[in-house]
Amino acid sequence: MSERTLVLIKPDGVQRGLTGEILRRIEAKGYTIAELTMTTATEQQLAAHYAEHEGKPFYRPLVDFMLSGPLVAAVVEGNRVIEGFRSLAGSTEPTTAAPGTIRGDLGRDWGEQVQKNLVHGSDSPESAAREIEIWFG
């Protein structure tokens, strides 16, 4: 049974020229990139995407970071893709993310107010459906 998930290559990944490598890893894992766009996020998209974090101390720095440059949004499909991509991405903390993962191999702590960890992946089928609607309509 095929699933769909949203993957965002965050502004730090785009700015560092890692878009191709991240997409290569997704395809190498055997997943299909069904939709792909480079865009600049809007306040409205980010408010909807991060609604559960509104009011938390990291919310505004996170939104500012996500507004800092272009990002790549992708709809990725495959069997158990939600779980599989999150495993491929690695821990949200790049310093301790396992080698072989996107964050473990390509990420690091830059000592800034917000964690720049290259990618986002939906955490459930419900989140995936909601997030795909935000980014792809």
pLDDT digits (tens, 9 = 90+) for 11-60: 999 999 999 999 999 999 999 999 999 999 999 999 999 999 999 999 99
Residue 10, token pair as written in the block? 């965050």
Indicate the pLDDT class of residue 128, thresholds 50, 70 and 90.
Answer: very high
Query: In angstroms, rounded to a whole number, what is the distance separating the alpha carbons of residues 123 and 78?
Result: 15
Q: What is the mean pLDDT of residues 85-101?
A: 96
Q: From its phi and psi, is residue 30 left (phi > 0), alpha (psi between -120 and 50) or beta?
A: left
Task: Detail the DSSP E strand segments found in 15-96.
Answer: 32-39, 71-79
- Hey, which residues are catalytic here? 120
Res. 91: pLDDT tops 80: yes
Res. 95: pLDDT tops 90: yes
Query: In angstroms, rounded to a whole number, what is the distance separating the alpha carbons of residues 95 and 113?
Result: 15
Find out whether 69 and 14 touch, Cβ atoms under 8 Å: yes
CATH of domain 2-136: 3.30.70.141
Residue 72 bridge partners (DSSP): 9, 38
Residue 23, token pair as written in the block? 């997409």
Res. 1: pLDDT tops 80: no
pLDDT at 113: 86
Res. 99: pLDDT tops 80: yes
Q: Is 11 exposed, middle or buried (0-12, 13-18, 19+ CB in 10 A)?
A: buried
Q: Please state which of the ranges 6-10, 22-26, 76-80, 107-111 shows the lowest mean pLDDT.
A: 107-111
Q: What is the pTM of this model?
A: 0.96
Q: Is 26 exposed, middle or buried (0-12, 13-18, 19+ CB in 10 A)?
A: buried
pLDDT at 77: 98
Percent of the chain topping pLDDT 70? 99
